[in-house]
Amino acid sequence: MNVKVFKFGGASVKDAPAIENLCSILRRYSDEPLVVVISAMGKTTNFLERVLTAYYENPSEVPALVEELRQQHEGVLRQLLPDPASVLISLENLFQQLRARLSMSPSQNYDYDYDQIVSFGELLSTTLISGYLNQVGIANTWLDARRVVRTDATFREGRIDWDVTTQQVRAAMLPTLQEGGVVLTQGFIGGTAENLATTLGREGSDFSAAIIAHALDAESVTIWKDVPGLLNADPKRFSDAVKLDRIPYEEALELTFYGASIIHPKTLKPLQNKHIPLYVKSFAHPESEGSVITNCRLSTDVPSYIVKDNQVLLTLFPKDFSFMGVDNLSNIFAMLAQYRIKINMMQNSALSFSICTDNVGNRLKKCIAELRKFYKVKYNDPVQLITIRHHTPEAAEKAVGTKKVLMRQTSRATIQFVVI
């Protein structure tokens, strides 16, 4: 059975015209078994993060924010359907669950509360879109990803239990798919054995599509984006960005490791392991070829630019004036792992060790406080991290320009700069 997995991100379901366009894309594949993975609509995740902040800091603001979210979803639904009553009932059930959750006192475990609340974004979007598709003739089975994508209780970065997930995905989806039907489910979210919601990391819907494709031995995964395919740079930063038509898994893994935002970093390995190609196509021009990541040779050495904002540069010095040896580095890495601090670039000298990392708020603050028990800590915040794959002197000059370079690192294929 040749199952295709489609993933539609927030921009591709942001409003009624976007959802109608999704519908037209699905009609192009009406005779094929499909799994459709959908993100929250537009900026809903950001909005629910605002709700979460109010839940902790200004509870009196929460009801109005939830009502605003309800009106937004209802407004989109009423634009799509002349008689939305049955879908409205399903949406209202979800909003009642959300209000009930927000009526409880915060648990004081922010990451836990984040997952229980922010996960409603995907539940709302898929409930709305599934109901719309059923009414316009695209029959589909709505599936709660929290019941099939099994993770541990690492909230906000749930770790997949691959064996259980594979069993549950196949049991839940194959009956529909074997009849040539459509299964519609959520990206970004999963659940624990105790039925607690988890999320897979920001922008984790790509990873969800890969998990499902891996479990089903799918024919392919297609990510529908607001760009024509894989680009060598963010077109909002580089006006001369070009499309990469075909790249190998290894090159895509390097790009995502360094922070390329086109694909979630965890997406590729499950696909590579089963030789499942990943297509990136434009939802505005579905007939266009797009790009593909597959088993192939790298056919171009055009430089690729990755720019990460909101970075922090930390430099650590042993308080006892000892060398920055293996014992110190082992201690530092253990603390970084404890607080789930990702190293985007690192460099050490005889007396210091420097890392560039994402600013992850309280986790980073707690980690720095722990590090200060053993090390003198200096930091620059915010800084920008620029990475160039297949770099040339001209590419480096173009990317860095007149910015001040705080740290630089060069290898055969990659050059990185921490700049302000």
At 172-186, the pLDDT tens digits run 999 999 999 999 999
Sign of CA dihedral 71, 204, 253, 400: positive
Alpha helices in 7-157 (DSSP H): 16-27, 44-57, 62-80, 85-103, 110-118, 120-135
Residue 113: partners with Cβ closer than 8 Å, 6 or more residues away: 52, 55, 56, 106, 107
- Whose CA is closest to 173, among 4, 13, 40, 26? 4
> Do 419 and 406 contact (CB within 8 A), yes or no?
yes
Structure-token match 């915060």, residue found: 106
> Do 355 and 346 contact (CB within 8 A), yes or no?
yes
Neighbours of 389 (CB within 10 A): 20
Give DSSP secondary structure letters for 75-99.
HHHHHH-S--HHHHHHHHHHHHHHH
Q: What is the mean pLDDT of residues 78-103?
A: 97
Question: Sorting pLDDT into bands at 50, 70 and 90, what band is 321?
Answer: confident
pLDDT score, position 11: 94
Question: Sorting pLDDT into bands at 50, 70 and 90, what band is 298?
Answer: confident
Give 148-169 pLDDT, tens digit per residue: 999 999 999 999 999 999 999 9
Structure-token match 């696909």, residue found: 271
CA angle 107, 110, 112 (to 5 degrees): 75
Question: What percent of the chain has a predicted confidence (pLDDT) above 70?
Answer: 100
Give 55-68 pLDDT, tens digit per residue: 999 999 999 999 99
pLDDT score, position 65: 98
CB burial of residue 98 (10 Å; 0-12, 13-18, 19+): buried
Neighbours of 285 (CB within 10 A): 10
Residue 228: partners with Cβ closer than 8 Å, 6 or more residues away: 243, 282, 285, 288, 290
CA angle 398, 404, 409 (to 5 degrees): 75
Query: 347 — phi, psi (to 5°)?
Result: -160, 140
Could you give the count of Cα atoms lying within 13 Å of 323 in the half-sphere of its Cβ?
5
Residue 299 has pLDDT above 80, yes or no: no
pLDDT score, position 1: 80
- Please report the domains of the chain, with CATH numbers, ordered by start residue: 4-294 (3.40.1160.10), 304-419 (3.30.2130.10)
Question: Sorting pLDDT into bands at 50, 70 and 90, what band is 397?
Answer: very high
pLDDT score, position 261: 77
pLDDT score, position 121: 98
pLDDT score, position 334: 97
pLDDT score, position 82: 93
Give 187-215 pLDDT, tens digit per residue: 999 999 999 999 998 879 999 999 999 99
pLDDT score, position 264: 82
Question: Sorting pLDDT into bands at 50, 70 and 90, what band is 294?
Answer: very high
Rounded CA separation 23/7 (Å): 13
Residue 290 DSSP SS3: coil
pLDDT score, position 398: 95
Structure-token match 């409930």, residue found: 127
Give 223-267 pLDDT, tens digit per residue: 999 889 999 999 999 999 999 999 999 999 999 889 887 788 899
Give 28-64 pLDDT, tens digit per residue: 999 899 999 999 999 999 999 999 999 999 999 999 9
Q: What is the mean pLDDT of residues 400-415?
A: 96
Per-chain mean pLDDT for the chain? 96
